[in-house]
Amino acid sequence: MTTAAHRRSRMGIRDVAAAAGVSITTVSDALNGKGRLPDATRRHVREVADRLGYRPSAAARTLRTGKSGLIGLTVTTYGDEPFTFTEFAYFAEMARAATSAALARGYALVILPATSRHDVWSNVALDGTVVIDPSDHDPVVTELVRQGLPVVSDGRPAGTLPVTAWVDNDHEAAVLDLLDHLAAAGARRIGLLTGTTTDTYTRLSTQAYLHWCNRVGQDPVYEAYPAHDPCAGAVAADRLLARPDRPDAVYGLFDPNGTDLLAAARRYGLRVPDDLLLVCCSESTVYATTEPPITTLSLKPRRIGTAVVQLLIDAIEGIGHDHPDGITMPTQLITRASSRGRRHCDA
């Protein structure tokens, strides 16, 4: 009666125990590498389990141990679709690094759009969650924290959002640095292509631009558009170059801005970099082969993804940290022809 697995659905731990002539505890210990049994027993049990094609039930283990090995990856949504269009390359890189990092520590990632119906959220047993760019009073984060789950955000949490930790770039420093770079290349009036959204990235970057303008005594010249709409970006780029106070250098905050600005420049007969210096924030490699190649600011999403996951898993496993709660990662300016000053002439 103990091994009633007559013709039951799947091979269970009891079947293995029976076949190996040991107790289920021994099977469990042998398979989980608990150090209390002699190698002979362990090998034997493992072999039997293998032969039987036994796979432990993840559900049962999760229920018993309270750990699922699952990490949520919450992505912002605009409209119905998960992920925003303009963040493709960034998101893909970040998610890829996060997936690797999680995997290396035995966890897997579950993609969960922030707007998910609530029942989907509670239908999956999560050990913790990575949140990308949470909004000010993000209900998802609040709920997760209430459940006692660790939450680490990619991007400083706005307001008083109670995340466990966060990872972000030093956006102010990056923008200031980049503007200095453009000025050094001969820019006299630098324009900005920015977003109408209020996320931290857009806000901090724009603020940094305004500070810089203020510091060097330049009038700000910028156009803002809804960043999730790719068409709006092309229009805004055009608008920026059509202004009477047309800038002689432009920084675009979003990935597609480079090609949009290049196209707009062509329409107005502006040569890059001779008449117009160009930089945009992007992770895309297309800018290495445009004509001319365009200087980009990389946010290094791989590092961010890795760091976020490490922080989260550390929190899950109760590993303490010296960092207070947020860490800042460097950005990288990849200088190409579009921002080389008039006196430079190398490719």
Partner DNA sequence: ATGAAAGCGCTAACAG
Partner DNA sequence: CTGTTAGCGCTTTCAT
Task: Kindly tell me which residue out of 28, 52, 56, 337 binds a copy of itself, with binding defined by CB under 8 A.
Answer: 56
Give the strand pairing for 81-82 and 77-78: antiparallel
Q: Scan for tokens 């659905």, then name that residue.
A: 9
Output 218 or 338, the one with its CB closest to a copy of itself. 338
CB of 118 to DNA, least distance (A): 15
Q: Which does 33 bind (CB under 5 to 8 A by kind): DNA, a copy of itself, none?
A: none
Backbone phi, then psi, for 99, in 5-degree steps?
-60, -50
In the block, residue with structure tokens 């050990």? 127
Task: Return the residue of 46, 52, 56, 224 that touches DNA, per CB under 7 A.
Answer: 56
Which of 95, 151, 178, 299 is in the footprint of a copy of itself by CB under 8 A?
95
How many other β-carbons are positioned within 10 Å of the β-carbon of residue 178?
24
Show contacts with a copy of itself in window 269-308 (CB under 8 A): 284-286, 289-291
Cβ(92)–Cβ(296) under 8 Å?
no
- The first and second tokens of residue 98, run together, are 């996060």
Residue 52 near a copy of itself by CB under 8 A? no
- Residue from 13, 30, 68, 155 touching a copy of itself (CB under 8 A): that is 68
Site for a copy of itself contains 82 (CB under 8 A): yes
CB-nearer residue toward DNA: 25 or 214:
25
Residue with tokens 């009891």: 14
Count of residues binding DNA (CB under 7 A)?
30
Residue for token digits 């106070």?
245
Least spacing, CB of residue 99 vs DNA, in Å: 24
The beta strands (E) that lie in the chain are given as 70-75, 77-78, 81-82, 108-113, 128-132, 151-154, 165-169, 190-195, 221-225, 249-252, 277-281, 295-298, 326-329, 332-334
Binding mask 12-51 for a copy of itself (x = CB under 8 A): ----------------------------------------
Binding-site member from 25, 47, 120, 216 for a copy of itself (CB under 8 A): 120
Per-residue binding string, a copy of itself, 241-260, x by CB under 8 A, is: ---------------x--xx
Is residue 230 involved in binding a copy of itself (CB under 8 A)? yes
- Using rule CB under 7 A, residue 343 touches DNA: no
Q: For a copy of itself, which residue of 117, 244, 324, 343 counts as binding (CB under 8 A)?
A: 117
With contact defined as beta carbons under 8 Å apart, do 176 and 188 qualify?
A: no
Interacting residue with DNA among 18, 19, 22, 297 (CB under 7 A): 22
Q: Which is nearer to DNA, 46 or 246 (CB)?
A: 46
Q: How far is the CB of 315 from a copy of itself (least distance, A)?
A: 17
Whole-number Å distance between alpha carbons of 8 and 193: 64
Q: Is 117 helix (H, G, I), strand (E, B) or coil?
A: coil
Buried b (16+ CB within 10 A) or exposed e, 135-161: beebebbeebbeeebbbbbbbbbbeeb
